[in-house]
Structure 1
Amino acid sequence: MAALLLLAVPFLIQSHLPQLSSKRTRTGLAVTAAYELKEGQSRIFHRLPSGLRMEAIVQSPLPGSGVSGSTLPLVFVHGSFHAAWCWAEHWLPFFSSSGHHCFALSLLAQGESDVPEGSSSAGTLQMHVSNVADFIRKEVNLPPVLIGHSFGGLIVQSYLSRMENEREDLLPLLAGAVLVSSVPPSGNSGLVWRYLFTKPIAAVKVTLSLAAKAFMNSLPLCKETFFSSTVDDHLVLRYQSLMRESSKLPLFDLRKLNASLPVPSIPKNSVKLLVIGASDDFIVDLEGLHETAKFYDVQPVCLEGVAHDVMLDSNWQKGAEIIKSWLKNLL
């Protein structure tokens, strides 16, 4: 058993959290059917300084809703195997109905965004942060609240660090930030080792599901990895298809990413920050949630009966309501 675990370590550390290889495309060409937008949503393509286009799904409050125009805009950043569509399903309609201008981004090589040519990954942590900052600078009128899920949460953390510690970068200021089932500031290696030595069966399932990408073709594995058991199978199949088509390249080269971590700390209370986790998260455990909250000296919120994909789960309203209440205190 010990020998098997030791053999599994390098494989798990490289691939514990989602990444995807293969499927090359020509830069700038969409290769999948676009996510079908809901009423009130639009799709824009932001031109980055590199010349590549980054997809954003946008939803604004309905005219005449009576909501003040000073309501904070929200910018959403997804994690691996996802794209802007994961926010558009439930949370964009929810928050726009509360008066927020919502922008859900698809990072490069994800969703309908362009694919960097000649690269084995979508980009580095620094590149993703710079691209998010460029979008905010040019497309968002007021300092927004930046909301990141899973690896997107790590991108948000890096953004905060650069905004506070490297003022020469002149990153656009934020009104606040929300980390949802976020990878901790130290990265995913701590999560991997805990699974390996305390939950070996779960470690095997994680390896099969994410590293071997078995979740793409296995309904039970996809459901256990990302969703609660209460999510209808037909929805899991739909989301599974969207995940399968979302990532043309891995979001990161995990070896290079881990070499650049942990994320540098920021001054205490410099940014209003909300840290949310889920009790039934198969990827980011409770210890990972508390590591993140302790790093930023905030009290975490753990959603009971919710899985990793907080914004798509059958109880997606739980996380949305917590954020909605928290946002009221920022105005």
Structure 2
Amino acid sequence: MAAVGAILAATSPRLEINRMRGATITNTSHKTRVPYELKQGQSRNFHKLPSGLNMEFIFQKGSEKNLQSPPLLFIHGSFHAAWCWAEHWLPYFSGHGFDCYALSLLGQGESESPAGAVAGSLQTHAADITDFIEKEVQLPPVLVGHSFGGLIVQYYIACVENGVVQEKGSSCLSLAGAVLVCSVPPSGNSGLVWRYLFSKPIAAFKVTRSLAAKGFQTSLSLCKETFFSASMDDNLVLRYQMLMTESSRLPLFDLRKLNASLPVPKVNDSSIKILVMGAKDDFIVDAEGLSETGKFYGVSPVCVEGVAHDMMLDCSWVKGAEVILAWLGV
């Protein structure tokens, strides 16, 4: 979440995704100091983007009992990487027959970093996802985006539904569906910040200290309050705190430029099946933010009880997974 000074007026972004060549490789020049050990059945790979940079992804193949299920492609938010999905949700959904891919966006996890002060923009992150889908995924996937990753997924939906023409005259790649998990709403995080300032000033201070000032990296209690349920084991929080600290070498966005480019373009009568879900105990995205996203897509959002912002890592992670599984029709 941005500090108040980072909030700018919203304008419509230019829809643009460039499509170029990429390839899977098996090595990378960046290694995190706190490595994530893969679980059984998972593999760490690297997709070479048109820029020449290597993007990490963790893959787990689905069981043979549901061969026609669409692949799931997971997109993390700020301070996270592919590992946050590999902990619980990749084993869970692969066990129900879904091929699962979790990306680490550039400058995050073991992906390489672009030149500059930030990892990218909505446009560049969406372009990287497009290139990955085209080269690595056999069928139209369901995109699952968390927090700011959810905002990237929203932009991608707009690109698909508005028929954006990419380089060389090809259209954006189709999707089998999209899931927005505790997502930043289409207007960005500025509304969240202002509501916190006027209704919950202490919470606003904590959120700003935790995220904008990265206080979650050094305070275990603040990390827990920001991302997890109060009942979460401290040892687990400490482990995830270390992984989150190592995961984000660059900010995902320039938040001033991002907020100036929002809201994401409106999609009328979307043909893409969309699930909007939030967490009852979310310290970052409030109920009004969740409602905004649901109204934007004309769907009733699902608010999961007893779980916090990091729904895929929380001690009650299975609650959110079960909602998605039911929505997928399995």
TM over 0.5: yes
Aligned to 2:189: 188
Is this contact kept in 1: 2:66–2:98, CA < 8 A?
no
- TM-score normalised by L of structure 2: 0.90
- After the TM superposition, list the runs of 4 or more consecutive aligned residues in structure 1 that deviate by more than 6 angstroms: none
Query: Unaligned regions of 5+ residues in structure 1, if any?
Result: 1-7, 15-26
Cα deviation 1:121-162 (Å, max 9, x = unaligned): 000110000001110111000001000000000000000001
| Alignment-mate amino acid for residue 71 of structure 2 | P
Whole-Å separation in 2 of the counterparts to 1:161 and 1:9: 27
Aligned to 2:13: none
Is this contact kept in 2: 1:41–1:58, CA < 8 A?
yes
Tell me the percent identity. 66
Is this contact kept in 1: 2:4–2:190, CA < 8 A?
no
Matching of residue 81 in structure 1 with residue 79 in structure 2: yes
Is this contact kept in 1: 2:121–2:253, CA < 8 A?
yes
| Alignment-mate amino acid for residue 76 of structure 2 | H
Is this contact kept in 2: 1:28–1:115, CA < 8 A?
no
What aligned pairs does 1:1-331 form with structure 2 within 5 A after superposition?
9-10=4-5, 13=7, 28-62=29-63, 65=64, 67-117=65-115, 119-169=116-166, 170-328=171-329
Whole-Å separation in 1 of the counterparts to 2:229 and 2:88: 16
Is this contact kept in 2: 1:81–1:243, CA < 8 A?
yes
* Number of aligned residue pairs: 305
| Alignment-mate amino acid for residue 273 of structure 1 | I
Cα offset for 1:69? 1.8
Whole-Å separation in 2 of the counterparts to 1:104 and 1:268: 29
| Alignment-mate amino acid for residue 137 of structure 1 | E
Whole-Å separation in 2 of the counterparts to 1:327 and 1:31: 34
| Alignment-mate amino acid for residue 113 of structure 2 | V
Whole-Å separation in 2 of the counterparts to 1:93 and 1:216: 27
Cα deviation 1:283-328 (Å, max 9, x = unaligned): 0000000000000000100001110000001110111000001111
Q: Secondary structure at the match of 2:145?
A: strand
Cα offset for 1:70? 1.2
Q: Secondary structure at the match of 2:165?
A: helix
Cα offset for 1:205? 0.8
Q: Secondary structure at the match of 1:167?
A: coil
Q: Secondary structure at the match of 2:97?
A: coil
Cα deviation 1:177-212 (Å, max 9, x = unaligned): 000000000000000000000100101111211122
Cα offset for 1:30? 2.5
Q: Secondary structure at the match of 2:285?
A: coil
Whole-Å separation in 2 of the counterparts to 1:84 and 1:328: 25
Cα deviation 1:2-53 (Å, max 9, x = unaligned): xxxxxx7316x49xxxxxxxxxxxx943242431000000011000011101
Cα offset for 1:277? 0.3
Cα offset for 1:229? 0.6
Is this contact kept in 1: 2:216–2:223, CA < 8 A?
yes
Is this contact kept in 1: 2:34–2:243, CA < 8 A?
no
Whole-Å separation in 2 of the counterparts to 1:188 and 1:251: 14
Whole-Å separation in 1 of the counterparts to 2:180 and 2:281: 17
Is this contact kept in 2: 1:30–1:114, CA < 8 A?
no
Q: Secondary structure at the match of 1:104?
A: strand
Q: Secondary structure at the match of 2:222?
A: helix
Is this contact kept in 2: 1:28–1:52, CA < 8 A?
no
Give the RMSD, CA atoms, in angstroms: 1.4
Whole-Å separation in 2 of the counterparts to 1:167 and 1:285: 32
